[in-house]
Amino acid sequence: MESDIAYHTALDWLAWQVELGADEAIAETPVDRFVAAAEPVAAPASMAAAAPGAPPVAGPAGEVDPVVEARKAALRAGDLGQLATEMEGFAHCDLRHGARNFVFCDGDPAARVMIVGEAPGREEDMQGKPFVGRAGQLLDRMFDSIGLARTAAEARKALYITNILPWRPPQNRDPSPVEIAMMLPFVQRHIKLAAPDLLILMGNVSCDGLLGRRGITRLRGNWQEVMQRPAMPMFHPAFLLRQPVRKREAWADLLAVQARLRT
């Protein structure tokens, strides 16, 4: 029987139950957990090739490889508008089916500084813009302290913001390696088309995608190189909201970015 409940309303009800601690659905027939074993999910063969600079790896004959398809789609984009169209129409990432909105970017594409975050959260999913919730408000205050803003009229004082994923993962979970791998070609094309002077990698997911490494506590504060441009890994503002004692380190990183822009 078809339900009259709206899809997103039902999804919100389900999320509420999960937050209350429900972790099991009741099926029509019992399941013997001692017999039923979880089947491992095979990652696409090209996942290893998604790392920066790695050669493509062919999958089994006849199988659609989402990373290869993402590369083709990204290369078709000659400008940011075309890239947004290609990403929004990319059919191989299942996150698109559960998200309210496609979240592409915010700020000035001509900005010298491009921030690459992780994935949209609830507020970002609702508004269709990156970093607009509490973490986004903190991000704005952080960069305002060194004279940069996503709303700045001048490109030299502006920010350009995007994420590794353009769709919200369920319950704000971390993106999976498969999801990062299939969306990475679009992120790399995004960086190439925007051509910023430097990058800010906000959090572990963006470091994982663009550096092939995690461990933001070790990476932060140390300049890296991504696509022939300097990149500064930083604590994600959501982490700083949970661990305000680490704001001192974030401030040091902001000063390093400010000094780099003055050279």
Pair type for strands 224-226 and 106-107 = unpaired
**Residue 244, both tokens:** 């305000």
Mean pLDDT of 27-34: 55
To the nearest 10 degrees (0 to 180), the angle between helices 247-262 and 134-144 is 50
- 116 in a structural domain: yes
Measuring CA to CA, which residue among 130, 119, 112 is closest to residue 206? Answer: 119
Around Cβ 53, how many Cβ atoms within 10 Å? 7
Task: Please tell me the distance from the alpha carbon of residue 263 to that of residue 99, in angstroms, as a whole number.
Answer: 41
Q: Which amino acid is at 87?
A: M
Q: Is residue 25 domain-resident?
A: no
Asked if the model's pLDDT at residue 179 lies above 90, the reply is yes
Burial group, residue 226, by CB count within 10 angstroms (0-12, 13-18, 19+): buried
Do 105 and 130 form a contact (C-beta atoms < 8 A)? Answer: yes
- Asked if the structure places residue 70 within a domain, the reply is yes
Average pLDDT, the chain: 87
Q: Is the pLDDT of residue 37 over 50?
A: no
Is 50 part of any domain? no
More confident residue, 210 or 64: 210
**Predicted local distance difference test score (pLDDT) of residue 1:** 44
116: which DSSP letter?
E
Contacts of 182 (CB under 8 A, 6+ apart): 44, 50, 66, 67, 70, 92, 93
**Does residue 30 surpass a pLDDT of 80?**
no
Q: Which of 54-68, 75-89, 107-121, 195-209 has the lowest mean pLDDT?
A: 54-68
* β 159-163/113-117 pair status: parallel
Which tens digits make up the pLDDT trace of 74-118? 999 999 999 999 999 999 999 999 999 999 999 999 999 999 999
Contact assessment for residue 103 and residue 128, using Cβ atoms and an 8 Å cutoff: yes
Is 152 part of a structural domain of the chain? yes
Report how many domains make up the chain. Answer: 1
pLDDT at 21 over 60: no
Cα–Cα distance, 139 to 125 (Å, whole number): 17
Please give the residue range of the domain that contains residue 131: 66-262
Residue 40: the pLDDT is 47
Domain-embedded: residue 92: yes
How far apart (Å, rounded) are the C-alpha atoms in residues 90 and 71? 11
Whole-number pLDDT of residue 22: 58
Q: Is the pLDDT of residue 215 over 60?
A: yes
Q: What is the DSSP letter of 44?
A: P
Beta strands in 31-152 (DSSP E): 106-107, 113-117
- Residue 227: both structure tokens together: 């696509």
Read off φ and ψ for residue 54, nearest 5 degrees. Answer: -80, 145
**pLDDT tens across 216-244, in order?**
999 999 999 999 999 999 999 999 999 99
Contact 198, 228 (CB under 8 A): no
**Which pLDDT score is estimated for 13?**
65
In a domain, 14, yes or no: no
Instruction: Give 136-175 pLDDT, tens digit per residue.
Output: 999 999 999 999 999 999 999 999 999 999 999 999 999 9
| pLDDT in the model for residue 263 | 82
Least confident of 11-25, 43-57, 110-124: 43-57
Is residue 36 predicted with pLDDT exceeding 50? no
**Exposed / middle / buried, residue 103 (Cβ in 10 Å: 0-12, 13-18, 19+):** buried
Q: What is the CATH number of the domain that holds 154?
A: 3.40.470.10
pLDDT of residue 167: 98
What is the pLDDT confidence band of residue 63, given thresholds at 50, 70 and 90?
Answer: confident
Residue 203 lies in a domain: yes
